[in-house]
Structure 1
Amino acid sequence: MIEVKGRAAVVVGSAGGIGLAIAEALAEAGVRGLLLADLQLELAQANAERLSQSTGADVRAIKVDVTDQSSVEAVAEAAVRAFGGLHIAVSSAGVAPNGQTTWEASLDEWDRVLRVQLWGPIHGVRAFIPRIISTGEGGHLVNVGSMASVLPLAGVGPYGAAKHGVLALGDTLAAELAALTPSIGVSTVFPGMIRTPMNPIGTVEPSTVAANVLDAIQRDRRYVYSDDHYVNEVRSRLLALINARDEVLTPS
C-alpha cells in the first residue's frame, strides 16, 4: 500500500485507451512526475502537455518499443533522471488479435502478439522493478492483462496465451517481492469489454478501469477486475481447475 501523491510514475502504452485513462488518474491523484511512454510519440506528447496544464504535475513523453528491452530500459532510466527515482510503473501496451483459430494463426501472428502482450510486460519487469527497488521508498507495478488472462476465449489463441502469461508473470513477481521487499506491490488487471480504439463496441469506459487501478495501487489489490463481464464463465473455469484435483487417479 503506497500513497500516490508526490510519487514518480511511468505508464507504458499511454497514447490512448486504458493506458491514457490510468495516466490521467495518476496525474489527478497528485503524482509529482509522470512519464508517458508509447510508440506513438506525438499522441503521448499531446497527452503530456494537456495533463501538465490541467493537473500541475511534471508530465513528460517518450517513445518506446515494448518489444525491445533496450527501449524499455531507456524509459526507466529517463524516469529516474527526470524525477530522481521511480515508484509506480504500469505496462498497458497492446495489440488486437486477428480472430483466427489457434492452429490457423501464422507463426508471424504468434510472434507479433507475444512480443507485445507478453514480452512487453517482461521487459517492463526487468527495467522497472530494479529502479523501484533502488529508489528505496516502496512502490507498485501494474500489468494490464485481460479477461483472456482468466478465461479461454476462442479465436484469440496467441492473445490468450500471452495474457495468461501476464498473470503468471505477476504472480511469480509478487511472490519474489514478498520475500525480498514487501513494500513493493504487484497488480494484474483483467478488463472486460472496455470501449477503446481496439474495441469500439465495448460497454465500459477506460476511466472505470483506471479508477480500479488507482485503488489497487493505494490498497495493494493483487487481482483487479473492472466490471461484471463473464462473471459466471470465469467462476466456472476456476472451479473446474479446483475440482479437477478430485479426479486424480492413484495406483490401487
Structure 2
Amino acid sequence: MDDLQGKVAVITGAASGIGRGMAEAFADAGMRVVLSDLEVDALHATTAELRNAGADVHAVVADVSAPDDVTGLAEATLEKYGAVHVLCNNAGIYSGGRPSWDSTLDDWEWILGVNLMGVVHGHSIFLPIMIEQGEEAHIVNTASIAALLGGSSLYGATKAAVVALSETIHHELVGGGFKPRISVLCPGVVATNIFDAERNRPTRFPEAGPRPDGWDIDAARKEFALGTSPRAIGEQVVQAIHEERFYVLTHPEWKGHIEHRMKQILNGDNPTQLPPPTM
C-alpha cells in the first residue's frame, strides 16, 4: 500500500504496548484508527490522548476470543468509517510456564482463545470485507520472535501457530489473485507490560499453573522495560505495509538464533538453544 492517508486501520490490543505504538504510527501517517481492547479504562484513556494530539480515532471495547465481539468490532468500524483497509490482529497474552506440563488446561484455553483464536476471528470476520471492497488492504498479525526459536511453551506454541496461519493466508491471497496482503510481526524484547497479562484473566479460567522455578518476574519486567519502544515497532509496521513485506523481524540480533534453529531442522539434529543476545 503506497498511500495510507485517510485509510482506516483496526488494531486489537490497542490500549497499550505494541498496539498503541502502531496506533500512534498510523495516526502520524494520516490514517483513521479504530482502537480495540478489553481494558475499558486504558482504552478510553489512550483514545483520548491520541485524539487530543489530533488523531482521528474511535474506541471499541472487544474481547478477541469472542467471535461476537469481533463481529461487533467490524460492524462498528464500518458504521464509523465505512471501510477497513488495515487490520492488526495484535491482542495477545502471556500465560503458563515451564515445564509445560505444569500449565493447567485453563492456562491453555485462555491463551489459545486470545493468541490464536483471536487472530482466526479477525481473519474470518474482516478478510471477506476487505476482499469485497476491491481495494488495497493489509493484515498484520502479531506473533513473536519466540515463534521462530522454539522452547517457549504455551506462548511460543500459539505464536508459532500464528506464523503458520499467516503464511498459509499469504499463499491463498496471492494465489487467488486477491488484493489484500499480509504481514507477520515477530518482535523481540519490546517495552510492554506483557508479564502483567494476569490482570485481564477471565474468571472462567481460574486455575493458573505455577511459574518456572527460579524465575524472577520483577527482573523480567525490568528487562522488557529497557526494550524497544512500541512506537518504533509501529513505524516498522508502517514500512512493512508500504513494502508489502511478509516477515517483519524487528530485532536483527536474533537472526543468528533463527539460523541456528533452521540448520538443526535441515540437518535433522536434536534441538538446542543459544543464549539470548545481550541487549
TM-score when normalising by structure 2: 0.82
- The answer to whether the Cα contact below 8 Å between 1:45 and 1:60 also exists between their aligned partners in 2 is no
73, 77, 90: which is aligned to 2:88? Answer: 90
In structure 1, C-alpha distance between the alignment counterparts of 2:267 and 2:245, rounded to whole Å? 26
135, 138, 153: which is aligned to 1:137? Answer: 135
> Counterpart of 2:199?
none
| Deviation of the 1:50 alpha carbon | 2.0
231, 244, 247: which is aligned to 1:223? Answer: 247
> Counterpart of 2:13?
13
> Counterpart of 1:250?
none
> Counterpart of 2:257?
233
In structure 1, C-alpha distance between the alignment counterparts of 2:165 and 2:64, rounded to whole Å? 16
Percent identical pairs in the alignment equals 33
> Counterpart of 1:207?
231
In structure 2, C-alpha distance between the alignment counterparts of 1:79 and 1:164, rounded to whole Å? 29
Which stretches in structure 1 are left out of the alignment for 5+ residues? 246-252
In structure 2, C-alpha distance between the alignment counterparts of 1:189 and 1:105, rounded to whole Å? 26
SS of 1:123's partner is helix
Structure-2 change in CA distance of 1:207 and 1:58 (3 Å):
closer
- Map Cα deviations across residues 155-201 of structure 1 (whole Å, 9 max, x no partner): x3111110010001101111111122442110001110111112532
Residues 140-151 of structure 1 aligned to structure 2 (within 5 Å): 140-151=138-149
In structure 2, C-alpha distance between the alignment counterparts of 1:25 and 1:182, rounded to whole Å? 26
User: Which stretches of structure 1, 4 residues or more, deviate above 6 A after TM superposition?
Assistant: none
- Map Cα deviations across residues 18-72 of structure 1 (whole Å, 9 max, x no partner): 00000110011101x21100001222222222222323x4211010011111111
TM-score when normalising by structure 1: 0.90
> Counterpart of 2:157?
161
SS of 2:83's partner is coil
Which stretches in structure 2 are left out of the alignment for 5+ residues? 196-220, 270-279
183, 186, 193: which is aligned to 1:187? Answer: 183
In structure 2, C-alpha distance between the alignment counterparts of 1:131 and 1:182, rounded to whole Å? 12
How many positions carry a matched residue from both structures? 241
Amino acid at match of 2:118: G
In structure 2, C-alpha distance between the alignment counterparts of 1:170 and 1:149, rounded to whole Å? 12
> Counterpart of 1:249?
none
